[in-house]
Amino acid sequence: MTGLIALPGTRPSEVAFIARANPVAKLAVAMVIPIALILTVDPVTAGTALLLEILALPWCGVGPRRLLRSGWIVLLSAIPAGLLTLLFAADSGRLIAGLGPVTITAGSLTAAAAIALRILAIGLPGVVLITTTDPTDLADALAQVLHLPHRFVLSALAALRLFGVLAQEWTMLTMARRARGFDTGFGRADGFGLGAARRVGGQVFALLVLAIRRATVLAVAMEARGFGVDRRRTWARPSRFRRSDLAIALGGLLIAVLATVAGVVTGSWNLVLT
């Protein structure tokens, strides 16, 4: 299970333009584009955004293999979401196929394409962010560029490091429960029922105890090194937001705007709230 979960670790030595950019710029792109895409369900907006993102990909320094390795979850979830919409969406337009309550119409086809493209278009900038950014650099950028309170940003970074430790503890807890006589996994002694829920709940509880205890000791260790006393602080790794970073952030905004415009112009843009 721990193998499934991999966090970015050491700083990748990046040469590509976007990969080298300040993490705040990449974060801005990854968070602004979803806003535009989330407001509408139509294939033109989502498709345009995705196309523009793919065009920017060569500057991101992420090869197709790395992209696939980090982004397979996004890819994998676009398919069932698309299928679900295809089969169960509200019917409109020409009927293409039908079998009882399940109907595929032109309308549902469009909607399915929209949903799938939307997932991909939202996910791609995030994948680029993750594969090209080191968490420590991201934290430095958030505190120095965006001036988010450093006590929170650095505590979150320190806690992030514990993720791997807690994941290992989870495995140990599972083994310890087997040693105490509790089978693991569904389909064994407890199955799906209340028993399984209680057992998993118990394991989550144990994880929380261990997590909070580690947290209190970590807090003492950080305070012992002078953390949190003063607002004043220097930074060993200065994070600068340059004009090129601004350009990248604006580029993300541009993608969002262009995609929306494309949708509006072709008449397929429709606000989700209605």
Count of alpha carbons within 13 Å of 130, Cβ hemisphere only? 15
Q: Which residue of 58, 80, 191, 195 would you call a contact of another protein, by CB under 8 A?
A: 80
Q: Which residue of 145, 206, 250, 258 would you call a contact of another protein, by CB under 8 A?
A: 206
d(CA 47, CA 120): 9
The answer to the question of residue 127 lying near another protein (CB under 8 A) is: yes
- Which class for 35: exposed (0-12), middle (13-18), buried (19 or more C-beta within 10 A)? exposed
The answer to the question of residue 142 lying near another protein (CB under 8 A) is: no
Q: Which residue of 212, 247, 257, 265 would you call a contact of another protein, by CB under 8 A?
A: 212
- Check residue 237 and give left, alpha or beta (phi > 0: left; psi -120 to 50: alpha): beta
Q: Which residue of 178, 191, 261, 265 would you call a contact of another protein, by CB under 8 A?
A: 178
The answer to the question of residue 115 lying near another protein (CB under 8 A) is: yes
* Beta pairing class for 95-99 and 102-105: antiparallel
Q: Which residue of 177, 250, 253, 254 would you call a contact of another protein, by CB under 8 A?
A: 177
Q: In the bound complex, what is the minimum distance in angstroms from residue 111's beta carbon to another protein?
A: 4
d(CA 164, CA 263): 43
The answer to the question of residue 9 lying near another protein (CB under 8 A) is: yes
Q: Determine the interface stretch with another protein among 17-25, 46-54, 210-218, 255-263 (rule: CB under 8 A).
A: 210-218
End-to-end CA gap in the chain: 42
Q: Which residue of 237, 242, 257, 266 would you call a contact of another protein, by CB under 8 A?
A: 237
